[in-house]
Amino acid sequence: MEKKNIDWANLGFGYVPTDKRFVANYKDGKWDEGALSSDATVAISECAGVLQYSQSCFEGMKAYTTEDGHIVTFRPDLNGERMENSCKRLEMPVFPKEKFVDAIVKTIEANAAWVPPYGSGATLYIRPFMFATGPVIGVKPADEYQFRVFATPVGPYFKGGVKPLTLCVSDFDRAAPHGTGHIKAGLNYAMSLHAIVTAHAEGFDENMYLDAATRTKVEETGGANFLFVTKDNKVVTPKSNTILPSITRRSLLTVAKDYLGLEVEERTVYFDEVKDFAECGLCGTAAVISPVGKIVDHGKEICFPSGMKDMGPVITKLRDTLTGIQMGRVEAPKGWLKVIK
């Protein structure tokens, strides 16, 4: 199969429409079979539930070319489970996990020529999403929905290599207790936009959000989970019912324990103890894991021993091992890689 004529090494992290996308519609209480489409546009009523009351959710994942030439994607079943949970919380019809994985496979297969070659540093980003298409004017769930999956080739999230980030402790709240912080709802990300624009204007790369109830516990950033390393190499990640259950974070904890032999702990992390950690990272699909060099709390700096030039040693090993698994250089746990071709 001939790849698209793209300068893969200089590809940015943005939207490039590809040949096909998967589309399924929910009407009269059931989903249709869905099909691949060449149409990248969406036509909906001006009164659609997604436009009036933000009924939408999404997922993010990638397809890779492995060292031995196969096209694979990473743990799509977990993305399917998370979307099921998002749908339930938003009173949207569940798109079953099995159909979800099948739609992902069909989309990647149809866009195989867009999957970047091994070693290019680029990947094919996959975006499954669902939104309310049925018209609603009273505040209630819509009765019609559309599920779509599109793909777009992307370069590395950080051009020029991964450099330690500087974060600020945000004055804004990301998610309320008993709210929607634990699901991947579009509305959560809309709420974070003003906060991240403000952080960037003040010279920071990202926000650190604390819990809305007490503002004493570490939660996450606008789009990534935190992962800390203690001075005796224990890997610690915050636990909260308002944190999105990151698939990358869960995978990194398995890597830490089973591949690197490190002790791992998922627990409440108080902001007061952040200064005592040796390393800090942000983990998610787009960047895998990015090191944090400094956190600024209203002028007071917390500088990690790993510094502002390089990744810390444990985060480096975690990143190298997980990307090695994704690219086929390291043997994957059973079920982690879904082989497409």
What positions carry a catalytic annotation? 184
Query: What is the secondary structure of 253-273 as a DSSP string?
Result: HHIIIIIS---EEEE--BGGG
Token representation of residue 232: 């005796």
Token representation of residue 132: 């309310």
Name which of 85, 270, 92, 254 is nearest 181 in CA terms. 85
Q: What is the dihedral of CA 265, 207, 323, 317, to 10 degrees?
A: -50
Distances (CA, A) of 35 to 31, 39, 110, 206, 237: 12, 11, 11, 38, 40
How many whole angstroms separate alpha carbon 114 and alpha carbon 107? 11
- By CB neighbour count within 10 A (0-12 exposed, 13-18 middle, 19+ buried), where does 314 fall? buried
Question: Is the separation of the CB atoms in 292 and 280 below 8 Å?
Answer: yes
Name which of 44, 270, 209, 16 is nearest 124 in CA terms. 16
The backbone torsions φ and ψ at residue 197, rounded to the nearest 5 degrees and listed phi first, read: -65, -40
How many whole angstroms separate alpha carbon 122 and alpha carbon 117? 8
How many whole angstroms separate alpha carbon 246 and alpha carbon 237? 11
How many whole angstroms separate alpha carbon 110 and alpha carbon 337? 19
Per DSSP bridges, beta strands 61-65 and 71-74 are: antiparallel
Q: How many CA atoms lie within 13 A of 226 on its CB side?
A: 34
What is the CB neighbour count within 10 angstroms for residue 137? 9
